[in-house]
Amino acid sequence: MRVLSWAVVAVLMLSGSIGFTTSIIPETAQGLTQKANVIFVGTCLARSDKAGPPVTTDYTFNIETAIKGDLQANSTFALHQWRGTPIPINRGGNRLATIPTYEVGQRYMLFLTAPNVNGFRFPVGGGQGVFHVTESNGESIVAQDTLGGRWLFPEGGSQGVSLGKTIGGAPSHSLQLKEFVQAVRKMGGPQ
């Protein structure tokens, strides 16, 4: 019986290591803001992939708006990210699914963790800490999920951010960048 118990434990441990899933709990804007070490709006200027080990990507951003952390507007910020275990390009490339990639020339609002002992930073809550910024009719907007950003501000606490509205002709799953930045600044306290 004891051998059977250990066999069951071994099978469960082995199956857990082979076929596991990752669940990410939705973060509110308050949670993203509190957990982030730095928050800024900026444009990705450069990307450099390193073969490793470990496999990494370095990004350089021009900071447009410094929101939290020791940052200055009109300066650059280096982001050093781990990309996960290398897998063949024909099966998705060399990256970890929960760590977003950034396109050179694109604008983002990023909520990033403090660097770990290896100097790596990650978006808070995986991809939840990354907001793609676009222009619509001369207005900067933040692309959001199909819930219209409602998970960011639960129980009606929208902090003055227009949720679920059409903004400058943009789809209703967008938020005004200016309003979102102001709300995050309020949540983060004095800087």
3-state secondary structure 52-95: CCCCEEEEEEEEEEEEECCCCCCCEEEEEEECCCCCCHHHCCCC
Hey, what's the torsion of the CAs at 63, 77, 188, 175, to 10 degrees? 50
Q: Output phi, psi for 145, to 5 deg.
A: -70, 180
3-state secondary structure (DSSP) of residue 17: helix
This prediction has a pTM of: 0.73
Distance, first Cα to last Cα, the chain: 62
Q: HSE (CB half, 13 Å, CA atoms) of 116?
A: 8
Where do we find the tokens 């709006």? 41
Q: What is the pLDDT along the chain (191 residues), one digit of tens a residue?
A: 554 444 444 443 433 433 444 556 778 888 899 999 999 999 999 999 887 777 788 999 999 999 999 999 999 999 998 774 444 555 545 445 567 888 999 999 999 999 999 889 989 887 788 888 988 778 888 765 444 455 676 655 555 555 544 444 544 456 788 888 888 898 876 55
Full set of structural domains in the chain with CATH? 26-188 (2.40.50)
